[in-house]
Amino acid sequence: MLFGLIDNNAKIKEQIKMGYQEGAIKKDWTGNQRSIYATLGASNHSNKDRQQHDYYATEPKAIELLLSEEQFSPIIWECACGEGHLSKALEQHGFKVISTDLIYRGFGDPKPLNFLKDTLKDFEGDIITNPPYKYSLEFVQRALENVQKGKKVAMFLKLQFLEGKKRKNFFLHNPPKIVYVSSSRLICAMNGEFEKIKSSAAAYAWFVWEKGFIGDSIIKWIN
């Protein structure tokens, strides 16, 4: 691993609680109403774990769209990498990608890294990820703490991230430099099972912060 981990005492039992209820009929965060238990066929523990930690893989096309508009540092930290759908697309573009996750899913650093607690020593690059939905704001805040002035944080988030009182207050002090709204739907697949997804019920955007930026945010449309 390129950088040493500090305070990496993340253990599965310490992981964040996601409020999962077996068999509950509820909307998942992509907006599809479903019985999580039935729809997932989540009859085994590992499937429940994956759901519990908001594992939805992002269609790699999202990276192509982002890179067609934005330039990034040569070193990227994908701090919630899942199975590496974004990391692999970034690597194909020549970036050196540090891939970490709270749960090792067979890709990236096998050592769990809780992004809300742990960090990398002397990290000098940009951060790009699709964070766990429930902790989107915390991830953005933490990412901004973890990059140096002038470096970028790009987060793939639901458009709804724009609203909300708590987030408004955050945006007033930390405006994204630019928001790229995907005018066609992109897909995030639970457990990376893209073959099970016919269409997406959620609208997404890339939110890009540049640490230290003060000013009005720009909005653009991609896709």
Ligand X SMILES: C[S@@+](CC[C@H](N)C(=O)[O-])C[C@H]1O[C@@H](n2cnc3c(N)ncnc32)[C@H](O)[C@@H]1O
- Interface with ligand X (CB under 6 A): 16, 53-58, 80-82, 85-86, 101-103, 114-116, 129-132
Closest residue to ligand X, judged by C-beta, is 82
Residue 188: its H or E element: strand 188-190
- Write down the least CB distance from residue 22 to ligand X, Å: 19
User: Looking up tokens 């590992």, which residue turns up?
Assistant: 46
As a dihedral over the C-alpha atoms of residue 207, residue 27, residue 82, residue 15, rounded to 10 degrees, the angle is: 100
- Write down the least CB distance from residue 216 to ligand X, Å: 28
Residue 34: its H or E element: strand 33-35
Give the list of residues 6+ apart from residue 65 with CB closer than 8 angstroms, or none. Answer: 180, 182, 186, 206, 222, 223
Between residues 37 and 55, which has the closer beta carbon with respect to ligand X? 55
Task: Count other Cβ atoms within 10 Å, centred on residue 93.
Answer: 12
Residue pair 183/51 in contact (Cβ under 8 Å)? The answer is no
Bridge-based pairing of strands 119-120 and 5-6 is: antiparallel
Between residues 130 and 200, which has the closer beta carbon with respect to ligand X? 130
Between residues 28 and 210, which has the closer beta carbon with respect to ligand X? 28
- Write down the least CB distance from residue 128 to ligand X, Å: 9
- Write down the least CB distance from residue 73 to ligand X, Å: 18
- Write down the least CB distance from residue 21 to ligand X, Å: 18
Between residues 87 and 210, which has the closer beta carbon with respect to ligand X? 87
Between residues 53 and 211, which has the closer beta carbon with respect to ligand X? 53
